[in-house]
């Protein structure tokens, strides 16, 4: 009986309910960069101007946190591809977490969220920062009450979702805005479109990156420079953060993390799950040495014997993945 009810519930959520786009509310087409697949649709949450606007307001709204002290934008800075320059972010009351804040772009394509891939849905992922003790330390019921009390948002929710201020519409609006954060206009993308040339060092780095000598693209491949697999790159011999094991409890998942995209990498430091590496130099040296001696280390991580020239070339290539038009896009500014 329970199973039948669950199936029925899912059916109602997925297929039977409608997306109430208002007649005067324009559906927006988001331009997909060359070489990117079409943006997968969000369930009952088509892009409209009103939704994107509301989502952006909520992204920068401190009422989402305890003491009205921080917003999503306090840890995710646009000019840094929505990452945080701090090793670990500071939440309410100066509390510090244990992971480095991820950049936010091309999330519309992602299927695994957070470093350990513990959440599989962008809409639901906003519940984590809102309720996390070390981040916003609030909860969605309190957020609804505060937004109502502020009196600022009634019309916005009505316009965007024909709804009062509700949990679903808050999550939908945050999802809608975050889905517009598409980045695919780096120098490398422009080169692929035949609009510019790479320097000889960038070109050498590119060929090394995609070679079977380095294996970089085996993990960081595809249009978003990550196949979103969960692997261990051998950063440490022993991991303080168990990574994927936090979700599965399996010993073989210890030290494994979702492979990060390398787009905009020049501005998203410090690096790795705990922000323990500050420069691309150190990262290349780590891979060149074949990583640390760690039991779950991936078999693709091997000593590379790169020359200094080749190391610099890899760094120059990684720097060519920066998309300045994304970092400065006025549409994403507060
Ligand atoms: C106190 C700092 C802080 C605040 C505030 C914060 N975040 Fe984050 N965010 C982080 C950290 C740290 C991570 C990585 C957490 C992890 O992997 O466990 C993260 C990860 C994410 C991710 C996962 C990205 C990916 O590629 O998997 C999304 C999405 C996200 N945050 C969106 C938001 C939204 C939306 C808000 C506001 C509702 C928000 N964040 C507020 C620090 C913060
Ligand atoms: C077996 C898969 C795998 C291979 C091969 C691999 N990486 Fe990684 N890479 C990862 C994982 C997993 C992480 C995240 C580890 C963590 O957070 O602790 C990572 C992190 C990184 C980071 C830091 C990203 C960030 O945002 O913090 C860079 C840069 C990087 N890799 C570059 C490379 C380069 C260059 C190569 C080739 C020399 C390479 N990787 C080969 C899996 C891989």
Q: 260 CA to middle of ligand 2, Å? A: 7
Cis peptide before 270 (omega within 30 of 0): yes
Q: 241 CA to middle of ligand 2, Å? A: 16
Q: Can you give the pLDDT at residue 23?
A: 64
Q: Are 136 and 66 in contact (CB under 8 A)?
A: yes
Q: 261 CA to middle of ligand 2, Å? A: 9
- CA-nearest residue for atom 12, ligand 1, is 101
Q: Can you give the pLDDT at residue 11?
A: 38
Q: 183 CA to middle of ligand 1, Å? A: 18
E strand or H helix that includes residue 230: strand 230-231
Question: Does pLDDT of 8 surpass 90?
Answer: no
Question: Does pLDDT of 7 surpass 90?
Answer: no
For residue 176, the ligand closest to its alpha carbon is 1
Residue 12 confidence class, pLDDT cut points 50, 70, 90? very low
For residue 331, give Cα distances in angstroms to 49, 119, 125, 177, 253.
11, 27, 22, 10, 39
Cβ of 92 below 6 Å from ligand 1: no
In the chain the domains, ranked by start, together with CATH numbers, are: 20-182 (1.10.760.10), 187-327 (1.10.760.10)
DSSP string, 65-102: SGGG---GGGT-BGGGTTB-SSSS-B-GGG-B-SSPPP
**Cβ neighbour number for residue 4 with a 10 Å cutoff:** 8
Cβ of 102 below 6 Å from ligand 1: yes
The pLDDT of 312-321, averaged and rounded, is 98
Q: pLDDT tens digits for 200-226? A: 999 999 999 999 999 999 999 999 999
Pocket of ligand 2, candidates 257, 259, 296: which has the most ligand atoms within 8 Å of its Cβ, to mutate? 259
The pLDDT of 54-81, averaged and rounded, is 97
Question: Does pLDDT of 106 surpass 90?
Answer: yes
Q: 3 CA to middle of ligand 1, Å? A: 33
- CA-nearest residue for atom 32, ligand 1, is 126
In this structure, the dihedral spanned by the alpha carbons of residues 209, 215, 221 and 227, taken in order and rounded to 10 degrees, is -150
CA dist., res. 19 & res. 54, Å (int): 16
Question: Does pLDDT of 102 surpass 50?
Answer: yes
Question: CA geometry: angle at 218 spanning 122 and 286, to 5°?
Answer: 95
Residue 5 confidence class, pLDDT cut points 50, 70, 90? very low
């Amino acid at each position: 009986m329970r199973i039948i009810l669950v199936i029925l519930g899912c059916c109602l959520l997925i297929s039977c309910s409608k997306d109430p786009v208002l007649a005067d509310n324009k559906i927006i087409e988001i331009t997909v960069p060359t070489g990117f697949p079409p943006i997968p649709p969000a369930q009952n949450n088509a892009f409209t101007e009103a939704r994107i606007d509301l989502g952006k307001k909520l992204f920068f709204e401190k009422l989402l946190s305890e003491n009205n002290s921080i917003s999503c934008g306090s840890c995710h800075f646009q000019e840094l591809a929505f990452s945080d320059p701090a090793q670990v972010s500071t939440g309410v009351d100066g509390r510090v977490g244990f992971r480095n804040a991820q950049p936010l772009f091309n999330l519309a394509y992602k299927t695994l969220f957070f470093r350990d891939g513990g959440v599989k849905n962008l809409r639901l992922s906003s519940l984590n920062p809102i309720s996390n003790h070390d981040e916003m330390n609030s909860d969605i019921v309190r957020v609804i009450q505060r937004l109502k009390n502020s009196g600022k948002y009634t019309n916005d929710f009505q316009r965007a979702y024909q709804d009062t201020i509700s949990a679903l519409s808050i999550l939908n609006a945050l999802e809608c805005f975050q889905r517009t954060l598409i980045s695919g206009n780096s120098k490398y993308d422009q080169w692929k479109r035949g609009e510019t040339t790479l320097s000889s060092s960038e070109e050498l780095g590119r060929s090394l990156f995609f070679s079977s000598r380095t294996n970089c693209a085996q993990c960081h491949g595809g249009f978003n420079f990550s196949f979103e697999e969960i692997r261990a790159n051998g950063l440490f011999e022993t991991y303080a953060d168990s990574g994927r094991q936090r979700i599965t409890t399996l010993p073989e998942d210890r030290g494994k993390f979702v492979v990060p995209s390398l787009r905009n990498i020049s501005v998203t430091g410090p690096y790795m799950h705990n922000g323990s590496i500050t420069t691309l130099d150190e990262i290349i040296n780590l891979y060149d040495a074949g990583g640390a001696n760690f039991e779950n280390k991936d078999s693709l991580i091997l000593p590379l014997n790169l020359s200094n020239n080749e190391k610099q070339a890899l760094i120059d290539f990684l720097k060519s993945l920066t998309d300045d038009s994304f970092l400065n896009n006025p549409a994403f500014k507060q």
